[in-house]
Structure 1
C-alpha cells in the first residue's frame, strides 16, 4: 500500500518553553478584582507542575505534582504528593515536604483528616499519616480500581468532600467499571459524576454523559456544579448544574455534521437542545476548563455562593453565579484573575483556605491539552486575599475534641476543616444533636444546611429536623430537605410526593428526581397525576419528568399527549419519552399546521428524531412548494444531515428520485439539493447535474456546485456526456466541463480532446489540468512521454512550480534552474532561527490565507472562514505562546488531541480509509478524511480499525516556506485571541 502525503498546515496540541517569566515577575502580570490582591505563595524549585491541590485545616497546601506527564510518564512511576508550608508567617511557602512519591500521574489530592485520597487511573488510593509528620506512614491502600483513562486526562479526576460526608469525583469519558468494598457496582462508557463513602462502599453514579470534566464542586446545599471540556477548537466548553439522574448528552463524540440553524456551542456539541439531555447553564466557549470550588467564605463577601473556576486555556480564573429560573438555573460569568504579558500562566485548580482566602495552582506551561507539555521544571501557587486586613479564622485547626470547637469548625469555608468537624460531631451524637438542631433554626443558610446533612447522617429522631424543613418558608430549604430524604429510598417517599404540589418549581423538580432515584408504584401514580397539570416551556422541569419516568415512559406519554391540540413545547417531553411516537404526532401536527411560522419549529423537532417517519415528514416540507424557499432550503439540509443514518430508507421510497429532481431545478433550492446529492452520492441525479452545469441561465455558483458534485459522485456515462460538452461555445460550460473531467481523472477523454483541439483549447486544457494536483501529475507524464512539449509544456511547468501541493512542486523541481529556485527552509528547520526573527502579523495573515506553500486555511478556520478538518484557530493565540505554537507545527505528532487521532480502516473489500472518527456506534463508523469528506462505513464491512501514532499533518510542513514566512505566520496566529 502507498499513501500520498499532503502538505497541510494541520496544527495540533503541543507545547514549548522559551519565554517563561521568573515567579516574582509573573505575579506582577496577574490582574485581580478590585479589593483583592494576588501574592506568590510558592514556586519552583519547591514544586513543579501542580495538577491538583487541597488545603488542610492548618492552611498547608497539598500538591499533586505531575512532573512526568503523559508521553513523558516514567516507569517506574516518579510523580509526587507534596505539602507546602509557610513556617515563618511571611505569606510565602518556605518548606516543601514530600508526602509520597513514586505515583503515576496523580490527578487529585484530597485531605480527610489523617487520610489522603489520591486518584491515579485506574486506581483510587488512600494514604495515611497518623503521626502527623506529613509523610505517608507506609504504602497506600488501593481503595477502588477500574477507573478508565490510564495515563490519559479523560479518567479519574479530582476528589472533593461533600457536606454529606462522602467523596465526590468527576470522571472523564475514558469510562469506568468499579466495584465497591460492599459489592456496589458502577459502570458507564463515558464521563460521569460519582460519589461514595470514604471506605469505598455505597458507590453511586449521580449523572452521566460528560466528555471530560476536570473537577466538580458541591456546596452546602448539596448542589453540584462542574465544568466540561469540548473537542479541541470547538469553543463549546460548558458549565453544568447537576440534576441527579441526568444525561448530559456527550456519547463520546458530537454529531458528525452541524445542523443548519443550530447554535454552534453547547447546543451542537453536547446535544443540549435535544430533549432528553440536560442543557448546560453556561457555555464558556474556548478553553481547557480545570479545577473548580464553591466559595462560602467571608473574606470575599461578593463571591459568596459562587463557583470559582480555573480555565487554563484562556489563562483565566472566573466566578459563576447560579440563580433559580423556573425548575432550573441560569448562570453568569465574571472574570476574577487573568495574566497580561505572561502566556505561560495556566491556572488549573483553586481551593479555599481556613481564613477564606484562595489558593490557585498554576501549571505554568506554554500550552495545555493534547497530553503534551515541555516545561516540567516550573509551577506556581498563588494566593488571592482581600486588600484589607483579614480576620483570623473563627475555628482553630482540627482535629477536634469538644463539641463547641467542632461546631465552630463546621462554619469554616475550608472543606478539610469541615470534615474534621463532622468527624467529631458524628462520633458524639448525644452531645451534639441539640446544638445542631439549634444551628438549623438560627444559623446562616450554609451552616444550617451543613447541620441538616449531619442530622440526617446521625439518623433516628435527629433526622426529624430534616423532615421539618419540608414545611420551611424558604424554597431552598424545602429543596434541600427533599434532596436529603431522597437518599433513603421508599422510607420518606410519601412525604416527598406531597412536594409535587409545592408552589416552588425547584421543589417540584427535586421531588421528581426523587421518584427517578427510587421508583415505586406510589411514585408512578403521583407522577401521572402531576403530568395532567404539566406546564409547558420549562426545560429543566421537562428533564426532571423524563428522569422520573424511567420504566413508566409509555404511561406518561399517554397522559402528556392529551389533549390533541398539543403545544409544541410539550413535544419536548414527548420526544424525550418516546421519539417514534412523538414523530408520528409531529408529522400529523405538520399536516394540519395552519400557521406557517409553526412549521420550522416542528421540522426542527423532527430533525432530531431517528426514525424514517420523522424523515418522511421533514422531506414532505422540502418538496412542497407551498412552504417558503428559506424554510425548504433549511429543511433540505436537515434531510441531508440524517439521510445516511436513520432516515436512509427515504432513498428507497417510490417517488424520492423524482421529487428530488423537481426540487433540483428550482432556482432557490438548487444549491441545497446539489449539496444533498453530492453528500450522499445519489448517482441517479447524474444527468440532471450535467444539465445544470450546461444551463447558462443558472447562477454561476449553482453551475459550479453541479460540476463539483459530478466529480464527486462519478455517475455512469458521465465522462462520455461531459466530453460532448467540451466544445460548447459557452465559456463557462466549457471551463466547468474540463474541470469536472480533470477532477474525475478522466485522462483518456481528456487526451482525446487535447489531440483534436486547436491551440487555444489546448492551452485551456493544460491550464486547467495544471491547477489540480492530479492534473499536474498527468501533465508531467505527458511531458515525459512527449505528448506535451514546446510552449505548452513551459506553461505547465510554470504553473506546477508554484503549485499548492508540495508533491507537485517536488515532482517538477527538475525542470527549474538552480538560480530560480526559492530559498526555502527544507528538511532542516531551525526553531531557534525562526524565533529570532521579528514577525509581521499582517504578512502572516497572507501566508495563512494565500500561501501555496503552507496551505493553512485548507484545514483550519478562523472566524468561521476556512477548512473544517483541523481545530478552529480563532482563539489559538490564547492557548499558546509563540514558541509553543511553533512546536505544534514542527512536531504535530508529539501530542495529538484525542478527537484528532487518525484511524486506518481496512474493509472486507480491501479498501483502505484514513481519517478521524467523527462518530462510531454499533452500526457504522463515520470517518472524516484529510479532504474533509465524510465516509460512512458499515461495521460489518470493517476488517480492522487501528489508531495511528502519526498526525495527518506532515512534520515538514514548513519546509516549503522561508524562515521569514514562518515568523510572520507565528505573529499572526499568536495575535488571534477571539472575538
Structure 2
C-alpha cells in the first residue's frame, strides 16, 4: 500500500552562493505547481520533504553527505553545450560548481547554500565524495581532489590525482568515488574511452572499445588494449585505488555505462547499467574480476555483431550465452539508470536495512531490492518501487517525450544516506533524460529528504577526538563519514582492538562487517582475531574475514603465523559454502599454475553443474591456465566425452582449451546428446582461437544433424571475420575479381575527372556512374574527398537518387542536394487517423528488408518489436521522418576506403586488426585494418528518408499505427 505525498514546500530562507549568471532570480526556478511532479508515491510508513530546490542548486548529478550532515552536490549546468546551446539555457562561464547545502535550524529543510568551488575544469562532473577535508570530484578526464586545510569551505589545494580517462563532456564517463570498508577508494567509468591512466606507482591502465560518438571529444577509441597486468579490459570499468592514487586495480569490466558502483560493508559491488535502446537495462551484483558482457571480450565488436541467429535480444545484449561472462541480474527493461546506494541503517525501519537502491531517471522512480545469497552469487529478488512520481511505474520509457505531464519531469539522479539515517534523493528535473539532451532551460533541480513518518531524525555530532566518537562515526549511515571513523581508529592501532572487537556483537550485521575490515588493519593481533573468524560457522562473517585478510596480509592464507603450516586455503577450498569457495577461486587467479593447481582442481570437483556464478569464479581462477588445467583433470574424467557429467561439460565450455577440441567436436556432432548439449559444445569450439578448432567447425558445418550444420555454418562465416580470420585462407574460394561492368565504371570515373575532356562527355560519364551501384560508390568516395567538380555535382544529384542501391541513395544525401526533395510533416501525419492493416503492408514493402517486428523482417537495423516502449506516435513519426537525428548506438554509418581504391559503407560491427562492416542488405565485409586508408563516420542514417521511398504523411500515420500496436 502506497500513499501519495502532495507537497509544495516553500523554502523561506535562501542564502545564495556566487553565481556566474547574475540575472537569475529565485521565482524563475520554483517548481511548477503543487499538483504536478511534487506528488510522490512511497511506502505508507515513510514521508518525503522537498528539502532544497533551485536557486540553491542547479542540475544535480551526484551528491554526498559530510560529517556535519551537510549535502554536497555536483552540478551539470554546462551540460553537453555542443548539443544544448549555452545562449538558450542557464550557463556558467566560470565552469560548473560544487555546492554545499545545509539545514542550520534543524527543521528538516535546507536553508543555507554556498559554492565550495567553481572551476573551468568541471564540465558536467558526474561524481563527488567528501572524505574528511578532501572533496573528490569525478570529471573526465580527471579525478580531482580539492583539499580544505582550514575548514572554511574554500579549497586550499587542487590536485589532479589521476588523469587519462575518456568521456570528456559525455554521459559514459568517470563516475563517483566511494571510500570502501577496506579503506581504499572505489569508483567506476563508462565506456567512452579510451582510458589510459597511470597511477602514482607508475602502473598503467589501458582500456577501450570500438565505441565512439555521443560527444565531439569521443572520436577515437579502440579495443584489445593491454594494461600493465597483461590483461585486456574493455568498456566501462569498476576500479579500486588507495587514497594516494596508488595500486590502481580493475575490479570488473565490460559495462556499457554503469552510472555508479555501490559498495557495501561486506565489500560487495552493486551496479546498474544502461542498454542500447532495446529494453535491456540491468541491476546486478558484480563479482570481482568478472566480465559484464556488453562488448565482445576484446572490445572490438558490438553485441549486435555477436548476436547469434534466434538469440534473444537481452541474452545477446549482455553476451549471456558466451563463456566468460557474469550472469546478468535483474532485467529492468527500458530506462536510464543513474545513482546507486546500499542503505545499511535502521533509522527508516528495520525492514529497509540492506536495501539496494537504483535510481531510474528514465522511468521516474527509485527502485529497491533486497538481494539474497544464492550459491556462489546473489539473486536480486523482487524489484520494488520505493519512490516515484507515479502510483504505478510506467513500463514505457520515452526519453525524448516533452508532453505536459510534469510527473515525468521527476528524474532521480542519485541517492545518499544522511548522517541521521534519512535518505536524500537528487532530482535532475527535466522533460527528457538521455541522448545528451536537456530541455529544461532554467537548470532547475531539487533534493528530497525521505524520513520515517511521525519520527524526527536529527544529525548526530561527530566527535573524532575520542575512541567512542570514532566508533560512532564507523557506525554512521553515511558511507564516507564511516571512513573518518575507520581511519581514526586505524591510526590508534592495536590499543583499540578490544572496543572494535565489541562491534562483532552489534545487532546490525553491516556494522559487524566494518569491524572485521578494521581489525585486519590493527596489526598482527587484529589479524589473528580475524583469522579465528574463518573457523566459525557464520558464512557472511567468514566471507568478509577472508576478503579483509586477503587485502591486508595474503601470506596468512598459506602459513598460519603460530605454527607455519599451510592450512588456510586448503581448508577453505573444501568449505561447504559455494560463496566461500568462490572467494578462494578469485584469490588464486594471479598465482602461477603450480601454486594454484591443488585449489583449482578441488574447486572443479566441487562444482554442482548448475551454479553459473560458481562456474564463472572457476573460470576467473583459471585465467590463462586453461590448457594446463584440462590436461591435468581430463584423465580423471570419463574417457568417452559423451559420458561426461553436466559439471564436466560446463567446465569444458567455460574453459574451452585447445586440448579439448576433439572432445568438443565429438560432443557437438553426437545424436546421443540433447540439442542444447550439442549447442554448448559448438559454442565452446567457437571460442577456441586455434586452427584445429576452425577446421573442426568446418567439418561440423557438413554434419548430417541439421541443427549442428546450421550452427556450425553460422560460426564459420562469423569467425572468419574475427578470431579465425588469419588461421585459414578464407579468401581463396571467394576472392572476387572486378566484373566487366565494374571496369567500365572505372573508365567512366577517369573520363569524368579528366578536365581536358569535353564537358558533355564528362556529364554523360557522371550520369552513367550515378545510375550504377558500383559507379555510384565511386562517386560517393570521390565526393568525400572533394574531388567531384562543382559543375558536375548537379548532374550527379539529378540521377544518383534513382540508383537501385538503397544504401547509395542514403549516402548520397551527405554529399548531393536532392532535386525536388520534399520534407514530410510529422505533425500533419500525427493528426491523421491510422490504419494499422495498411501500415502492415507498408512495413512489409519498405521496412522489413532491414527491420524485424513481431517475428517478421530482417535484423539489419534495430529490432522494432518493442518500439512502443520507446516512442509515442509523434516521437516515432519524428524518428521515421528524420532518421539521422538520433541514430541508435551502434548503427552509425561509416565509409571506409582501402588501398585497392575500393569503398565500403555500413555499420562497424567489429573493429581492431579486422574491421567488419554490415551494409544495408545485411551482408558483412571483413577488411584488414592494415589495408584501410581512411574511414569517416557519416552524419546520415543508412535508413532512407520516407520521401525517398515515395511515402506520404498518411502512409506514415498508418505505419506508426501498426508499429505501436504491440
| Fold in common (TM above 0.5) | yes
Q: Which residue of 2 aligns with 1:914?
A: 905
Matches within 5 A, 1:750-765: none
Distance 1:956 1:632, change over 3 A: closer
8 Å CA contact 1:316–1:339 kept in 2: the answer is: yes
How far did residue 68 of structure 1 move? 1.5
Q: Which residue of 2 aligns with 1:369?
A: 434
Distance 1:104 1:653, change over 3 A: closer
8 Å CA contact 1:854–1:958 kept in 2: the answer is: no
Q: Which residue of 2 aligns with 1:118?
A: 137
Q: SS in structure 2 opposite 1:287?
A: coil
8 Å CA contact 2:656–2:684 kept in 1: the answer is: no
Q: Which residue of 1 aligns with 2:19?
A: none
Matches within 5 A, 1:144-163: 144-163=162-181
Q: Which residue of 2 aligns with 1:929?
A: 919
Distance 1:93 1:891, change over 3 A: farther
8 Å CA contact 1:399–1:421 kept in 2: the answer is: no
8 Å CA contact 1:80–1:99 kept in 2: the answer is: yes
Confirm or deny that 1:423 pairs with 2:490. no
Confirm or deny that 1:140 pairs with 2:140. no
Q: Which residue of 2 aligns with 1:584?
A: 662
From 183, 193, 196, give the equivalent of 1:165.
183
Q: Which residue of 2 aligns with 1:44?
A: 54
Q: TM-score, normalised by structure 2?
A: 0.74
From 242, 264, 275, give the equivalent of 1:219.
264
8 Å CA contact 2:52–2:448 kept in 1: the answer is: no
Confirm or deny that 1:329 pairs with 2:378. yes
Matches within 5 A, 1:893-908: 898-908=889-899
Q: Which residue of 2 aligns with 1:475?
A: 539
Question: What is the CA–CA distance in structure 2 between the aligned matches of 1:953 and 1:861, rounded to whole Å?
Answer: 14
How far did residue 57 of structure 1 move? 3.1
Distance 1:452 1:804, change over 3 A: closer
Question: What is the CA–CA distance in structure 1 between the aligned matches of 2:92 and 2:850, rounded to whole Å?
Answer: 37
Question: What is the CA–CA distance in structure 1 between the aligned matches of 2:774 and 2:887, rounded to whole Å?
Answer: 37
Q: Deviations over 1:881-903 (max 9, x none)?
A: 88877876777666656534332
Distance 1:930 1:485, change over 3 A: same
Q: Deviations over 1:290-324 (max 9, x none)?
A: 21111112104333222210122333321233222
Q: Which residue of 1 aligns with 2:283?
A: 239
Distance 1:489 1:402, change over 3 A: closer
How far did residue 288 of structure 1 move? 2.2
How far did residue 531 of structure 1 move? 3.8
8 Å CA contact 2:415–2:424 kept in 1: the answer is: yes
Q: Which residue of 2 aligns with 1:292?
A: 340
Q: Which residue of 1 aligns with 2:224?
A: none
Distance 1:186 1:39, change over 3 A: same
Comparing 72-81 with 556-565, which one deviates more in the overlay? 72-81
Comparing 941-950 with 304-313, which one deviates more in the overlay? 941-950
8 Å CA contact 1:254–1:919 kept in 2: the answer is: no
Q: SS in structure 2 opposite 1:374?
A: coil
From 671, 681, 705, give the equivalent of 1:602.
681
8 Å CA contact 2:266–2:514 kept in 1: the answer is: yes
8 Å CA contact 1:169–1:216 kept in 2: the answer is: yes
Distance 1:967 1:592, change over 3 A: closer
From 199, 210, 213, give the equivalent of 2:255.
210
Confirm or deny that 1:82 pairs with 2:161. no
Question: What is the CA–CA distance in structure 1 between the aligned matches of 2:618 and 2:32, rounded to whole Å?
Answer: 55
User: Which structure 2 residue ranges, 5 or more long, are not aligned?
Assistant: 1-29, 209-233, 391-404, 559-567, 744-770, 776-797
Question: What is the CA–CA distance in structure 2 between the aligned matches of 1:812 and 1:553, rounded to whole Å?
Answer: 58
Q: Which residue of 2 aligns with 1:763?
A: none
Confirm or deny that 1:274 pairs with 2:353. no
How far did residue 616 of structure 1 move? 4.8
Q: Deviations over 1:41-82 (max 9, x none)?
A: 333333322221222333332211111122258897621111
Question: What is the CA–CA distance in structure 2 between the aligned matches of 1:646 and 1:183, rounded to whole Å?
Answer: 32
8 Å CA contact 1:240–1:281 kept in 2: the answer is: yes
Question: What is the CA–CA distance in structure 2 between the aligned matches of 1:273 and 1:867, rounded to whole Å?
Answer: 22
Confirm or deny that 1:129 pairs with 2:148. yes
Q: Which residue of 2 aligns with 1:445?
A: 509
Matches within 5 A, 1:449-464: 449-464=513-528
8 Å CA contact 1:916–1:929 kept in 2: the answer is: yes
Question: What is the CA–CA distance in structure 1 between the aligned matches of 2:351 and 2:582, rounded to whole Å?
Answer: 28
Matches within 5 A, 1:576-975: 576-590=654-668, 594-595=672-673, 597=675, 598-611=677-690, 613-618=692-697, 620-625=699-704, 627=705, 629=706, 632-633=709-710, 636-646=713-723, 777=802, 826=823, 834=827, 839=830, 843=834, 863=854, 865=856, 868-872=859-863, 898-922=889-913, 924-949=914-939, 951-952=941-942
Q: Deviations over 1:436-490 (max 9, x none)?
A: 1111144431111111111112222122221111012111111111111111464
How far did residue 925 of structure 1 move? 0.9
From 40, 58, 67, give the equivalent of 1:57.
67
Distance 1:446 1:105, change over 3 A: same
Q: TM-score, normalised by structure 1?
A: 0.73
8 Å CA contact 1:915–1:930 kept in 2: the answer is: yes
From 419, 442, 450, give the equivalent of 1:354.
419
8 Å CA contact 2:842–2:959 kept in 1: the answer is: no
How far did residue 219 of structure 1 move? 0.7
8 Å CA contact 2:432–2:438 kept in 1: the answer is: yes
From 597, 600, 606, give the equivalent of 1:527.
600
Confirm or deny that 1:559 pairs with 2:632. yes
Confirm or deny that 1:263 pairs with 2:306. no
Comparing 43-52 with 109-118, which one deviates more in the overlay? 43-52
From 207, 216, 239, give the equivalent of 1:194.
239
Distance 1:58 1:376, change over 3 A: farther
Distance 1:610 1:956, change over 3 A: same
Q: Which has the higher helix share?
A: 1
8 Å CA contact 1:43–1:378 kept in 2: the answer is: no
From 350, 364, 370, give the equivalent of 1:315.
364
From 425, 434, 453, give the equivalent of 1:388.
453
Q: SS in structure 2 opposite 1:140?
A: strand
Question: What is the CA–CA distance in structure 1 between the aligned matches of 2:144 and 2:840, rounded to whole Å?
Answer: 51
How far did residue 559 of structure 1 move? 2.8
8 Å CA contact 1:398–1:421 kept in 2: the answer is: no
Matches within 5 A, 1:484-523: 484-488=548-552, 490-494=554-558, 495-517=568-590, 519=592, 521-523=594-596
How far did residue 104 of structure 1 move? 1.8
Question: What is the CA–CA distance in structure 2 between the aligned matches of 1:225 and 1:936, rounded to whole Å?
Answer: 38
Distance 1:894 1:812, change over 3 A: closer
8 Å CA contact 1:861–1:873 kept in 2: the answer is: yes
Confirm or deny that 1:97 pairs with 2:114. yes
Matches within 5 A, 1:62-73: 62-70=72-80, 71=82, 72=84
Comparing 157-166 with 895-904, which one deviates more in the overlay? 895-904
Q: Deviations over 1:151-203 (max 9, x none)?
A: 22233112122111221111122142222234344333322211112222222
Question: What is the CA–CA distance in structure 1 between the aligned matches of 2:334 and 2:727, rounded to whole Å?
Answer: 38
Q: SS in structure 2 opposite 1:158?
A: coil
8 Å CA contact 1:683–1:715 kept in 2: the answer is: no
8 Å CA contact 2:830–2:957 kept in 1: the answer is: yes
Distance 1:954 1:94, change over 3 A: farther
Q: SS in structure 2 opposite 1:343?
A: helix
8 Å CA contact 2:829–2:953 kept in 1: the answer is: no
Q: SS in structure 2 opposite 1:899?
A: coil
Distance 1:936 1:314, change over 3 A: farther
8 Å CA contact 1:839–1:971 kept in 2: the answer is: no
Question: What is the CA–CA distance in structure 2 between the aligned matches of 1:959 and 1:373, rounded to whole Å?
Answer: 33
